[in-house]
Amino acid sequence: DVPRSFPSAVDVAIVGSGPTGAAYARVLSELSPGTTLAVFEVGPALTDPPGMHVKNIADLDERLVAQRRSEGVHPHTATKAEAALTDPTKRVVRPGTHVLPDGFRQPGEDGIPALAMSSNVGGMGAHWTCACPRPGGAERIDARPDLDELLDEAERLLGVSRDPFGDAPYSDVVRERLGAEFDAERPADRYVRSMPLAVQRRADGALTWSGADVVFGDVTRDNPAATLFPEAQVRRVLVEHGRAVGVVVRDRRDGTDHEVRARFVVAAADAVRTPQLLHASGVRPPALGRYLNDQPQMVFAVRLRDVGSTAADQHDPRGDTAIVQQSGVSWVPYTDANPFHGQVMQLDASPVPIVGDVPAPGTVVGLGWFCGKDLQATDRVEFDDDAVDEFGMPKPLVHYTLTDRDRATLAQAARSVRRAADALGEALGDEPFVLPSGASLHYQGSTRMGAVDDGTSVCGPTSEVWDVEGLFVAGNGVIPTPMACNPTLTSVALAVAGAREIAARLAQGVETQTTSG
């Protein structure tokens, strides 16, 4: 094989090809044509176009292979050709993701045993459920007064549909029952509604789930100045005199290292590996890795009352790509008085398997209530300089505890889930239960945004790291609030603001900050 060549210099180096890294590439392709962009991704490309959601892969075995290839060094999804790795710790591990082999819990703490990541072009965005709710109340980010406009733009990039399953047979039933139960006690803008989803329905009814491919869009794929490098791991951000000036990339195909100079570097490598990369680069602001925030999650299942007698109800939709069509996905929005985010969806469409046997698929819905965490500086991921992880980077060690307030919120969420279940039908199981931390797949806060540099944030309102000009962070780690709703839409919104800032500075021909968020 001819060795790959890497550019010696680009304008913008983007680390990670999930939805937020892709958003930087997209917005810069739109606003700054001619700007040279390189997207480096540690994992392989699974699809053509790169970054597609694996649910769009019709062939089941091909889909399993794609999931397996996303699972890092010790893949666990069984395919026709390869048996599954049995995880002796029996932690919840979703297809397409891998968990930390150890270091996820320190003695005497709760830890985040199910803390997961994906290592593939498209990141977790090749495997996600595509729920795209908007934050409300204390979930919102004060440092961005323009958040709503940014969220509009994020919806465009992600291809969000407001009510893609409005005509699903039971979607009205679910929404009306939940609305009757909850709406009277909440403001109108937080009424129960359909969950906005990053999915498009084609004229023939087929569904296309959005992955990073949708975020990149044709404008990035057609941009001759933009290049995606799969199996290319960024080991270090180069910082000189307080400025990011490039990255060191390891070609995972042959193990060679390459220096790529850059005017701007965007670290969009997920909420564990972005702080890990900064740490490895000697960029260690006091808040790095702190205020780590996983959404404690309460779940339950219920069989819908008075539905399920028609022939269509008997269709077993597991394995279909259109499985959420029967009951849709409903949303009980977060409010400050009820600081949790409710997601109600057909159980067999959920990535969270709650019961093994689903008697009449489509009539059984899963209820997942994600809670806002009581944020603490002591909840943190730190990195061991003397040990390495499976990718040869400083080893993550997670410190994490639930507080009394977290336990009170979970108890309140349990009562709310119980009410929802009783409103919908007959509960399967005795009581709602808490999933292991990390199961939400929504951990945040480790590179958080702040309005001012007071030691409690890593970056400012444009996502540029305090004290390191030209270094931007992206992803759920940037979210500073106790957000309970699914975070991707918000993270993409924050990425839009960061990309606009870079575009503005490139247009002015200056690397240093001249505008403010």
Binding region for ligand FAD (CB under 6 A): 15-21, 40-43, 94, 97, 117-120, 123-125, 127-131, 233-234, 268-270, 273, 277, 351, 441-442, 475-476, 486-488, 491
Q: How far apart are CA 464 and CA 265, in angstroms?
A: 10
Dump the DSSP string for 420-467. HHHHHEEEEEEEEEEPPTTTTS-EE-TT-B-SS-SSS-SB-TTSBBTT
Q: How far apart are CA 212 and CA 25, in angstroms?
A: 10
Which structure tokens are listed for 484?
Answer: 């309970």
Kindly state the smallest distance separating residue 273's Cβ from ligand FAD, in Å: 4
Dump the DSSP string for 55-111. GG--SHHHHHHHHHHTSTTS-----SSSPPPP-TT-----TT-EE-SS-S--TTS--
Q: How far apart are CA 492 and CA 497, in angstroms?
A: 9
Kindly state the smallest distance separating residue 107's Cβ from ligand FAD, in Å: 28
**Residue 179 vs 230, nearer CB to ligand FAD:** 230
**Residue 233 vs 463, nearer CB to ligand FAD:** 233
Q: How far apart are CA 120 and CA 124, in angstroms?
A: 8
Q: What is the largest CA-CA distance in the chain?
A: 70
Cα end-to-end distance, the chain, whole Å: 46
Strands 193-194 and 257-267: unpaired
**Residue 121 vs 427, nearer CB to ligand FAD:** 121
Kindly state the smallest distance separating residue 314's Cβ from ligand FAD, in Å: 27
10 Å Cβ neighbour count for 405?
13
10 Å Cβ neighbour count for 410?
18
Q: 53, 127, 399, 442: which one is catalytic?
A: 442
Establish whether 442 is a catalytic residue: yes
Kindly state the smallest distance separating residue 70's Cβ from ligand FAD, in Å: 8
Q: How far apart are CA 21 and CA 51, in angstroms?
A: 11
Dump the DSSP string for 182-245. HGGGS-GGGS-EEPPBSEEE-TTS-EEE--HHHHHHHHHHT-TTEEEETTEEEEEEEEETTEEE
* Amino acid in position 262: A
Residue 202 phi, psi dihedral angles, 5° rounding? -80, 170
Kindly state the smallest distance separating residue 352's Cβ from ligand FAD, in Å: 9
Q: How far apart are CA 500 and CA 141, in angstroms?
A: 18
Residue 486 phi, psi dihedral angles, 5° rounding? -60, 130
Kindly state the smallest distance separating residue 184's Cβ from ligand FAD, in Å: 28
Kindly state the smallest distance separating residue 497's Cβ from ligand FAD, in Å: 14
| SS3 category, 35 | coil
Kindly state the smallest distance separating residue 186's Cβ from ligand FAD, in Å: 22
**Residue 300 vs 331, nearer CB to ligand FAD:** 331
**Residue 273 vs 399, nearer CB to ligand FAD:** 273
**Residue 285 vs 477, nearer CB to ligand FAD:** 477
Active site residues: 442
